[in-house]
């Protein structure tokens, strides 16, 4: 019984608490990302933030193979932050009103293309 209590208190409960805290942090980050970009479908992998992190990590691995291991996650974080900043600048510069967003503009472009195809304005 003593070993079960030890495992529960020293291993299981801290892991459960960390999982809850990390999950809440990820949910908050996702809600903030969707709110800032004003796009309910925005997620880091869809809009390219994870690609920026991966690119920065690959650049560090290729150009600095002997660098300390702590540099890799730091460079990935910086790459993701730079990509997010570029995306936010792009979204706010391209918005025609404060209610326009990247997702709505993409949707309008797709619907315009489909409308042309269905009405025979585009051959094919």
Q: Which residues contact 49 (CB under 8 A, 6 or more apart)?
A: 80, 83, 84, 87
- Check if the beta carbon of residue 91 is closer than 8 Å to that of residue 101: yes
Helix (H, G, I), strand (E, B) or coil at 38: coil
Could you tell me if 57 and 89 lie in one domain? yes
Domain total in the chain: 2
Token pair listed for 4: 């079960």
Q: Is the pTM of this model over 0.75?
A: no
Measure the CA–CA gap between 60 and 75, rounded to whole angstroms.
7
Per-residue pLDDT for the chain (124 aa), expressed as one digit of tens each?
A: 788 888 889 999 999 999 999 999 888 888 887 887 777 887 877 778 889 999 999 999 999 999 999 999 999 999 998 998 888 787 776 665 555 555 555 555 555 555 555 555 555 4
Measure the CA–CA gap between 118 and 44, rounded to whole angstroms.
33
Measure the CA–CA gap between 57 and 55, rounded to whole angstroms.
5
Could you tell me if 124 and 64 lie in one domain? yes
Containing domain of residue 18, as a range? 1-37
């Amino acid at each position: 019984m003593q070993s079960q209590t030890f495992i529960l208190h020293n291993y299981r409960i801290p892991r459960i608490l960390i999982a809850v805290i990390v999950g809440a942090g990820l949910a908050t980050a996702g809600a903030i990302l969707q709110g800032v970009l004003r796009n309910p479908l925005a997620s880091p992998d869809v809009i390219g933030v994870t690609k920026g992190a991966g690119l920065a990590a690959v650049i560090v691995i290729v150009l600095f193979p002997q660098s300390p291991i702590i540099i890799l996650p730091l460079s990935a974080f910086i790459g993701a932050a730079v990509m997010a900043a570029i995306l936010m600048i792009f979204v706010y510069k391209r918005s025609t009103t404060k209610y326009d967003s990247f997702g709505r503009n993409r949707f309008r472009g797709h619907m315009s293309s489909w409308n042309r195809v269905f009405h025979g304005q585009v051959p094919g």
